[in-house]
Amino acid sequence: MNNRLPPAWAKHIKSGPAPKPRLPQPSLTPAKSFAQARADDLLLKQAYEHQQAKRLAEAQDLCLEVLARTPNHPLALYIMGTVCLGYDDEAALRYFARAVGEEPRNPYYHLSLGEAYGKLSEFSAAIKHIEYALEVQPDLVEALCALGRIYTQFDKPALALPLYEKAMKINRDHPKARIGIAAALTGLGRMDEAASYLKEAIERRIDVAAAYYDLVQTRKFTEEPAELQSILRELNSPALKPEAEASFNYAAGKVENDLKRYAEAFDHFRRAKQAEGYKFDIDQYRRFIDLTIETFTPELFAARSGYGNPSEVPVFVVGMPRSGTTLTEQICASHPEVHGAGELSKLRRVARLRFQQTDRDDHRRLVQDVGRRASFLSAGARSGCAAHRG
């Protein structure tokens, strides 16, 4: 979830009469319009407080109450987007897009829409909206860091580095700038420089949990480092937030795993998942695996043996979890004329959504439809590869 809302709340809460409605509303007098705007503002302030405290259901109810009266209220749409982000990214995308439609020059709305696209691996759209936010407000540190993060995820750390350097000049102690520049340097293989930024962040108590998490990723440990005891002390801190607890446990787990102390590593990873509120439904997972085995039979692949094509359209490597698909993609990508696009989370989103909404017969019909959908998926992948090469 994104807890960031635009600063200077007064800029977004109307202090004067509400603007004229786009369509005639003769039954709404100016006095009633002003009173409605004030009521909306008060509800949205409460919604913001609930959202910051992670009382998401309460925040959502208040926003929906405002939207029931004022269907296109941009700030209500925006807060709804922040409530959904991380839980229902597709819904967050729709709310942010509607907010942008209402206030197309608001850099924060474009920034959040871009970040939502980034979460869904729609990198081209993400870059477009974040760049527009920077066009409107060039010194927006959050946007500089968000664009840097997208480029880092997109395997373009060389493009991310100058963005983080600019952000650091504006605010050297901004957590996202300091952690982000270390990530970009790590992507460039400049591990010592990355570690230096992260150690300074820890010393200055800037996003300590994230700094430790990234710091232990900069090298592989063969002996127990001093950082491990520091991380364990941090885990004993009172009132530790769930996000920080998860990061510290992931960091400790990584170190323990490097040291081949697998039981301790697993325990830390388990605690990290618990801190994140992750609940694994083993029965649902087994149903999904059984259905996949039942559907993708040797006969199904034999019937589709003639689906090959000598064209240069993308090839999708699919298979069961932990079956070697990533290795296969990396081997293919080692060829100078092959580009590996990595794991395409968009396909996982589609599969998960379809699995939740379909029965066994529908699932089989979906598989039968693969051939017809291949051209659509290939076009999307080509677009992503073109952007990646660019």
Instruction: Report the C-alpha gap between 103 and 82 in whole angstroms.
Output: 16
Q: What is the pLDDT, as a whole number, of residue 376?
A: 46
Q: List the one residue out of 112, 107, 104 whose CA is nearest residue 139.
A: 107
Which has the higher per-residue pLDDT, 12 or 316? 316
Is residue 195 over pLDDT 50?
Answer: yes
At CA 57, angle to CA 55 and CA 58, rounded to 5? 70
The lowest-confidence range among 79-93, 111-125, 358-372 is 358-372
Q: What is the pLDDT, as a whole number, of residue 196?
A: 96
Domain spans of the chain, in order of start:
1-138, 282-389
Q: What is the pLDDT, as a whole number, of residue 322?
A: 77
Q: What is the pLDDT, as a whole number, of residue 307?
A: 76
Q: pTM for the complete prediction?
A: 0.68
Instruction: Report the C-alpha gap between 375 and 314 in whole angstroms.
Output: 10
Q: What is the pLDDT, as a whole number, of residue 350?
A: 65
Structure tokens at 319: 């298979």
Mean pLDDT computed over 330-335: 86
Is residue 137 over pLDDT 60?
Answer: yes
Tens digit of each residue's pLDDT (9 = 90 or more) over 221-279: 999 999 999 999 999 998 899 999 999 999 999 999 999 999 999 999 999 999 998 87
The lowest-confidence range among 179-183, 263-267, 292-296 is 292-296
Mean pLDDT computed over 327-338: 85
Which has the higher per-residue pLDDT, 369 or 203? 203
CATH architecture for the domain at 1-138: Alpha Horseshoe (1.25)
Confidence band for 347, pLDDT divided at 50, 70 and 90: low
Instruction: Report the C-alpha gap between 376 and 316 in whole angstroms.
Output: 13
Instruction: Report the C-alpha gap between 295 and 313 in whole angstroms.
Output: 25
Which has the higher per-residue pLDDT, 373 or 345? 345
Q: What is the pLDDT, as a whole number, of residue 110?
A: 97
Is residue 380 over pLDDT 60?
Answer: no
Angle between helices 89-102 and 107-119 (to 10 degrees): 160
81 within 8 A of 97, measured Cβ to Cβ: no
Q: What is the pLDDT, as a whole number, of residue 219?
A: 93
Is residue 373 over pLDDT 60?
Answer: no
Chain-centroid distance of CA 112 in Å reads 11
